[in-house]
Amino acid sequence: MNYADFLKKLDSKLEKYFEDQRTHICCKIGCSSCCEKGDYPLSQIELEYMMQGFIALENEQKQAVQTNVKNMQKGGACPFLVNKKCSIYFYRPIICRTHGLAYLCGENTVKVPYCVNEGKNFSRVYKDGEIMSEPVKENLDTQQILANYDYGEIRNLYDWIKTD
């Protein structure tokens, strides 16, 4: 399946999940804690798609991203985060598209957004490792979503682009 078509289908499904969970999601423009610390697993095709977004950026944003790449640390901020906004939002990888949702990632394991610990997404219904709301009943981890597609190996963004 063409990757752009794949993303259209995925985004359509995710849109419904976000609508179902909207009362627990606090994401808004300028909130970027999910982009300031993480591993960002992504497949080879996602990286190639992100690079299309990078190529389309204005020179000033390209320079900001390049500076961020030079200063990038494993587990740190995403280099595409510029002025607390995603510079390649339309081209963002699956991990970013699914962020904000609570979902099953095992028989009895629910994954909640990192920002729950900052009093944000799902913080009103998540206490002591328990969620008092219905999670998405599908594993939305990148590896699971891509399990039936040959879109290349999955690595941490840092491992894909850091060359030092």
Count other Cβ atoms within 10 Å, centred on residue 46. 27
- Contact between 40 and 50 under an 8 Å Cβ cutoff? The reply is no
Q: The tokens of 33 are what?
A: 């804690």
Task: Output helix, strand, coil percentages for the chain, rounded to the nearest 5.
Answer: 45, 10, 45
Please tell me the distance from the alpha carbon of residue 63 to that of residue 73, in angstroms, as a whole number: 18
Q: What is the pLDDT of residue 42?
A: 95
Residues forming beta bridges with residue 85, ordered by sequence position: 82
pTM given for the model = 0.93
pLDDT tens-digit series, residues 66-118: 999 999 999 999 999 999 999 999 999 999 999 999 999 988 899 999 899 89
